[in-house]
A and B are shown apart, each in its own frame.
Chain A
Amino acid sequence: MRAADAFVRALEKEGVEVVFGIPGGAILEIYDALYDSNIKHITTRHEQGATHAADGYARASGKVGVAFATSGPGATNTVTGIANAYMDSSPIVVFTGQVARSLIGNDAFQEADITGITMPITKHNYLVTDPKKLLRIVKEAFHIASTGRPGPVLVDIPKDVSQADIEFDYPSKIELMGYKPKYEGHPMQIKKAAELIMKSERPIILAGGGVKIANANKELTELAETIPAFVVTTLMGKGSISEYHPLCLGFVGMHGSKYANYALSESDLIIAVGCRFSDRTIGNTALFAPDAKIIHIDIDPAEIGKNVRVDVPIVGDAKRILSQLIKVIQYKQRKEWEEKVREWREKFPLKYSKQGFKPQYVIEKACEFFPDAIITTEVGQNQMWAAQFFKVKHPRQFISSGGLGTMGFGFPAAMGAKVACPDREVIDIAGDGSFLMNIQELATCVHYEIPVKVFILNNGYLGMVRQWQQLFYKERYSATCIGCEKVSFEKIANGFGALGITVEKASEVESALRIVKENKDVPVVVDFRVDFQANVFPMVPPGKGLKDIIEGE
C-alpha cells in the first residue's frame, strides 16, 4: 500500500475527524490520499491559522488537533502556532511534508530543517527516514501529544517516504522506553498535603490550566467546598471552577482583581493545581505570598520548584490526586479569613468608568447576551478585559494564548473551536491590531461556513503597549498608533462575504449584539469603536509584588 494511503488510514484509526492545513509540493502525496478519506480538511489561508485552529480545536474538545503543511515556508509558518501550543500545553500534531530524502541537506527548493527549528518548541518531533517506521511514528506522535503533560508533536515526512510502498500494520499499543508519565499521586505526599490543609487558617486554591486539561473541574470545586477554600485561577485556569461559584475569586496576577491578589498574598497555604507560577501570575517571586506554605500538584515534575519553593510537591494527574485528597480532609470553618476576603471583595470590586464608550462595557454586555459562548481572545488589553469581565461557567469555555502571548491567535482558534463544537456560539474577543494579524482566515470561515463571531475592541492602538508607554515610558507613544479608526472592518467583512457591523457608541451595543444573535449561521465581525484611552486596571507593575497592585482609570 502507498505510504500516504497507509498514513491517512492511521489518522482514521486515531479518530481524527478534521485536519487544518494547506497543501503544497512536498505533501501532495498525502493530500492525494486524503481525497479518498472521510476526514474533513479545512484549507486555511495561512499555516499559522492552521496550527492555531488545531490548537483551538484541541482546547475546546479535549481531543488532539491536527495540522498539515508543506515543506519549507509552509513548515516555517507553523512555528508560532507550535510554540503557542507548547507554552500552553495543548495537544496538537503537525505533519509537514519534506523534500525527498536524497535532497535533504542540499538546500533544495522549499527545504527547511523544520525538526531542527522546532526542537525547543515541541514536546517531541520526528523526521521519518524509513517508510517502514512511518506508522509507528504516527502512533507515537498521538500518544506523546495527548498523554502526560500534553504538547505539540511535529512529524516531518519526506516526499519519497510518502510515495513508498509499505504494509498497513498499525500498532495498537506502544511502549516508549524513556516516556512514562506518572498519573498516581504518592499517598504519603497526599497525606502530608491533607495535614497542611487541616492546619491552615487561611487556605487558598490556585488553579491553573492543568485543571482543565485533566478534566478535574468537578474535583476542584468539590475540594474548594470541602475545605472550604477560596479559589483564584491563573489566566489559563479561568473556568476551572465556575466563576459564578461563591468561592471563586476569579483570576489573579498582573491584571487580576485586587481582592484575588490580596487573598493569594495573605494566605497561609496555597494549594496550586496544574499551574507553573509564571511571572504574570505571581509578580516578583521574592515578594510572593510570604506567609504561605505551598502544595504543588502537577503532572510535570520539572515544574515543581522551578519558579517558587514548594513544601509539598505531588506529581501526577490532577483529577486522581484531587479525588484522593478530598477523601482525607474534613470541613473546617475559618470565619476570620472568610470575613477578611469578603471585606476585600466588597471594598475593591473590578470597576471602570462608565463615561463614554468603554471596552469593558462591551465585554459585560457580551457576557450577558452570550453567557455560554466559547470565548477566545487575542492578546493585550482585549484579553485582559475579557478575562476580567466575561464570567465563565464551563471548563473549556475560555481559550486564550497565555504563555506565548500570540497576537493573532484568537480568531483562528475560534475557528477551530467552532469546528469542534458546532452547536456552541464561539466569539473571538479581539483588538484591532491582533485581528489584523490573521484576518485572512475570514475567507476560510466564509468558504466553509464556520460562523464564528469577532468582537473587535477597536481603539486604533496596540493598546497594551500604549498603556505601558503611558505608565512607564513618560507617554512617549513610540510606534503604537496603528490608526484603525480609519479602517472599515465592516467593509472588510463584507468584502470577504461575512457580515460586518460598526458600533460607534455604547447605546448601540445591545442592538448590535441582538443582530449577532439573530445571525447564528454566518460569520460576523463587529467593530466596536471604543474610547482609545481606556486602560486595564488594576495592575501589578512589572517587578512588583502582588500586593503592590495599583488602581486607575
Chain B
Amino acid sequence: MKYTIAVLVENKPGVLARVASLFRRRGFNIESLTVGTTEREDLSRMTIVVNGDEKVLEQVTKQLNKLIEVIKVSDVTMNSVERELCLIRVNSPPEKRGEIIELTNIFRGRIVDVAKDSFIIEITGDEDKINAFIDLMRIYGIKEVARTGKVAMVRGGRNSEK
C-alpha cells in the first residue's frame, strides 16, 4: 500500500540529505518526495509517498522522528486533499489540435506552450486524474513528462502539523 506522510522539518541545509539518507539506509522505498517552504520561514514541509505495509510506515515514522531536525511526522494518507502538478509535451499535428484542446479542457488543464508540432500541457489534480490524462495523451505521442510529486493537506479545520 502507498502511504502519504507529511514531514515538518527545520529549514536548514542538509535536512533533505538526512531524510533521503535515512530512507536509503533503512531500505524504505520512496515513491515521491516534495519539499517546499511553509507559512513559517524557519520550517519546510516534505510530502513523502512511501510504499510498504503498516510495519514499514511505523518504522518510517519513528525513524524520521529520531532525526533532530524533524519536528513532526503525520500520516496524511486518509482524508486529505492531495495535489500534483504535471507538464506534458505532446505531439500535436494540426489535424489533432482540436481534440487535444478539448480533452485538456475536460481535465481543466491548460496549454502553456504551443510549438509547430507540439503542445506543453499543464495539469493539476490527484494522482489518478493525472495518470488518466497521461494515458489519453499517449495516442498522440508523448514526448516528455515532468511531475512534481504529491503535496497533501488534511481536510477540515484540523491543522495536521500542530
Contact = CB atoms under 8 A, between A and B. Distances in A.
Contacts of B21: 119-120
Interface in A273-332: 300-302, 304-306
A305 B68 contact: no
A302 B55 contact: no
- Give the contact-size bracket for chain B: 20 to 34
Contacts, number: 37
Contacts of A157: none
B17 A178 contact: no
A120 B9 CA distance: 18
A178 B18 contact: no
Contacts of B29: none
A115 interface: yes
B55 A305 contact: yes
Given A119-B18, A305-B58, A178 B70 contact: yes
A144 interface: yes
B25 A116 contact: no
A360 B141 CA distance: 75
A305 B60 CA distance: 12
Among the interface residues A127, A144, A300, A302, which one has the most CB atoms of the partner chain B within 10 A? A302
Given A115-B14, A119-B18, A178 B68 contact: yes
Interface in A176-231: 176-179
Contact of A300 (B9, B25, B66): B66
A302 B10 contact: no
Interface string A255-266: 000000000000
Chain B: interface secondary structure? helix
B63 interface: yes
Interface in B1-48: 9-10, 13-14, 17-18, 21-22, 25
A393 interface: no
Interface in A103-126: 115-116, 119-120, 123-124
B69 interface: yes
A173 B70 CA distance: 20
Contacts of A116: 17
Interface string B43-67: 0000000000001001100110111
Given A116-B17, A119-B17, A178 B63 contact: no
Given A116-B17, A305-B55, 12 more contacts: A120-B22, A120-B25, A123-B68, A124-B67, A127-B14, A178-B67, A178-B71, A179-B68, A300-B66, A301-B62, A302-B62, A304-B62
Interface of B: 9-10, 13-14, 17-18, 21-22, 25, 55, 58-59, 62-63, 65-71
6 contacts: A119-B17, A123-B68, A178-B68, A178-B70, A301-B65, A305-B58
